[in-house]
Amino acid sequence: MTAEDLAKLFDAFNRHDIDNVMAFFAADCVFNAVAGPEASGKRIAGAEAIADAFSGVWTAMRDAHWDHHSHFVHGDRAVSEWTFSGTNEDGTRIVAEGCDLFTLRDGKIVRKQAFRKNRPLIEPQPRY
């Protein structure tokens, strides 16, 4: 896996293209989401469950987007930095910087740990 591969992964995230996203993940991968009941966030295990989680974000936030992403890979570790934005169904928005820490095996992601700044939602602007 290379930094260019990670750029392609995030391009697939931005297209909401689950098949291309999951092509980068091993079948036995683990995803630690940014929020959840555990110290590591919500732990999601297995490619199918992770695909469902990613698709759920795109359903809840139809404009979910990772911008300004940059990546580096060193051995079996990789890091991606990005700015996430998206609009909830109630019109509130989030715009926050974050990063992913990846563990790699045989050119695939086996663990994705997501971290994102915790900031207040942006209230929708009134339309006149």
Q: Is 128 a member of any domain?
A: no
Q: Is 127 a member of any domain?
A: no
Q: What is the domain extent for residue 109?
A: 3-116
The pLDDT value recorded for residue 125 is: 74
Q: What is the per-residue pLDDT across 52-66, written as a single tens digit (0 to 9) for each?
A: 999 999 999 999 999
As for how many domains the chain has, the answer is: 1
The pLDDT value recorded for residue 111 is: 98
What does the CA dihedral 74, 54, 88, 101 come to, rounded to 10 degrees?
-20
Of 100, 104, 53, nearest to 80 by C-alpha is 100
Q: Which residues contact 42 (CB under 8 A, 6 or more apart)?
A: 32, 33, 35, 36
Q: Is 121 a member of any domain?
A: no
Flag whether the pTM goes above 0.85: yes
- Per residue in 47-66, is it b (16+ CB within 10 Å) or e — as a string? beebbeebeeebeebeebbb
Q: Is 56 a member of any domain?
A: yes
Q: Is 78 a member of any domain?
A: yes
**Integer CA distances (angstroms), 105 to 8, 67, 94, in order:** 18, 26, 32
The pLDDT value recorded for residue 124 is: 80
What are the residue ranges of helices labelled H in the chain?
A: 3-15, 18-22, 47-60
pLDDT, one tens digit for every residue, the chain (128 residues): 999 999 999 999 999 999 999 999 999 999 999 988 888 889 999 999 999 999 999 999 999 999 988 999 999 999 999 999 999 999 999 999 999 999 999 999 999 999 999 877 778 877 77
Q: Is 122 a member of any domain?
A: no
User: Is the Cα torsion angle 95, 97, 103, 107 positive or negative in sign?
Assistant: positive
Q: Is 126 a member of any domain?
A: no
The pLDDT value recorded for residue 37 is: 87
